[in-house]
Amino acid sequence: MQEKKNWRESLKKSGKLGVVIVLALFIIVSCMGSFYRVSEQENAVVTMFGNVIRTDSAGLYFKIPYIQQVEFVDMTTHGTGIGYSIPGSGQNIPTSGEDGIMITKDFNFIDIDFYLEYKVNDPVAYIYNSTEPEQVLKNITLACIRSTIIDYNVDDAMTTGKTQIQADVKEKITKELAEQDIGLQIVNIQVQDAEPPTDEIVQAFKAVETAKQGKDTAVNNANKYRNEQIPAAEASADKITQLAEAQKAARIAEAEGQVARFNAMYEQYAQNPLITKQRIFYETMEDVLPDLKVIITDGNTQTMYPVESFTQTAPAADGQQIGE
C-alpha cells in the first residue's frame, strides 16, 4: 500500500512538472513570436481583429501574440516585360508575345514591346484594395499603350515617335493608378523594340517602303521640273504682260490722237461746215477708191479721155519727157 501511494504521489509530481514545462515552452514560444524584424526593403502591416493598426518600416518590433498579425510587403522596384518575357527574371506579371501586337492610326499592325518598372507605394492599399494588384497593373498598362499607339502612324511608332509614346503612356498609367488606388506606382516605362508582327507583314512593309521611296523620287523629279519651268513661265508671262502694256499704251495714244484730230476737225467743221464736208468726202473717197479713174464729159462727147492721162508726162520721141 505504501508503494502504491508513493507511485501516485510521484505521478502527480510528474504531471505537475509536465504542465509546468509545457506552460514554460508556450510562454517562450509566445515571447519569441512577439518580436519581428522588418528589413530595409520591406514594410510590415500590423492588424488586430481585422483592422490595420500601423505600418512598420525597417527595424525590430513587438506584437501581441495570437492577437496581432503581421504581413510583410516588398517595397523594392520590380521590372517586367510587356509583350515579351524575360527569361529567369521571375517577373510577377505574366505576359505573352500577343500582348505587344497593337493597331496604329493608319490601320497597320505593330509588335511593340515595353519594359515596365513599378513598386509598392502604399502597402495597405496593395494588400486590401485588390486581390491581384499586379494583374490590374498589367491591364491598365496594356489599355494605356493601346490608347496611345492608336494616335500614331506605324512609321512614327517604329522610329521617331518612341520617346513621345513612352511619355504619353507613363502619364496615362500614373493617372489610372491614382484613380484605382491599388497601392502601386510606376517608376518608368521604356519601348524595347517595335517591328511588324509577322513575316508577311514585314514583306508588306518593305513593299510599302519601296513605294514610298518611288513616290519621293517622283515628287523630287516633279519639283525639279517645276523649278525649271516656273522661271521660264514667269519670263514668258512678263514678256506677254509687257507686250500687252505696250499695245495698251499704243492703243491709248492712237485713240487720243484720233480724239485730237476729231476735235480739230470739229472745230474746222464748226467754222466752215460745207468746205469741211467736201474735204472729208474727197479724203474718204481717196481712201475707199484709191484706183478710181475720173473721166470728164459733157454727155455729148464721142471720145472720152481719162483725167489721169493729162496729169501724166508723155515721153518724147527722142526719149525725153515733154516739158523738159
Strands 101-103 and 68-74, sheet pairing: unpaired
**Cβ count near 129 (within 10 Å):** 15
Average pLDDT over residues 310-321: 49
Half-sphere exposure of 266 (CA within 13 A, CB side): 6
CA proximity to 143, closest of 180, 173, 104, 184: 173
pLDDT digits (tens, 9 = 90+) for 73-84: 999 999 888 888
CA proximity to 84, closest of 119, 114, 104: 114
pLDDT digits (tens, 9 = 90+) for 116-171: 999 999 999 999 999 899 999 999 999 999 999 999 998 889 888 999 999 999 99
Which pLDDT band holds residue 97 (cuts at 50, 70, 90)? confident
The answer to whether 193 and 112 have CB atoms below 8 angstroms apart is yes
Tell whether domain 78-197 is in CATH 3.40.50.720. Answer: no
pTM (two decimals): 0.55
In angstroms, the CA 125 to CA 241 distance is: 81
**Cβ count near 311 (within 10 Å):** 8
What pLDDT, on a 0 to 100 scale, did the predictor assign at position 17? 60
Average pLDDT over residues 76-96: 76
Look-up of cell digits 494616335: 151
DSSP per-residue codes, 265-312: HHHHHHH-HHHHHHHHHHHHHHHH-TTPPPB---S--SS--BTHHHHS
DSSP per-residue codes, 140-176: HHHHHHHHHHTTS-HHHHHTTTHHHHHHHHHHHHHHH
Residue ranges covered by each domain of the chain: 15-74, 78-197, 198-286
User: In sequence order, what are the residues at sequence separation of 6 or more whose Cβ sits closer than 8 angstroms to the Cβ of residue 124?
Assistant: 45, 52, 55, 183
pLDDT surpasses 70 at 314: no
> 295 — phi, psi (to 5°)?
-120, 130
- Name residue 62's beta-bridge partners: 35
The answer to whether 107 and 168 have CB atoms below 8 angstroms apart is no
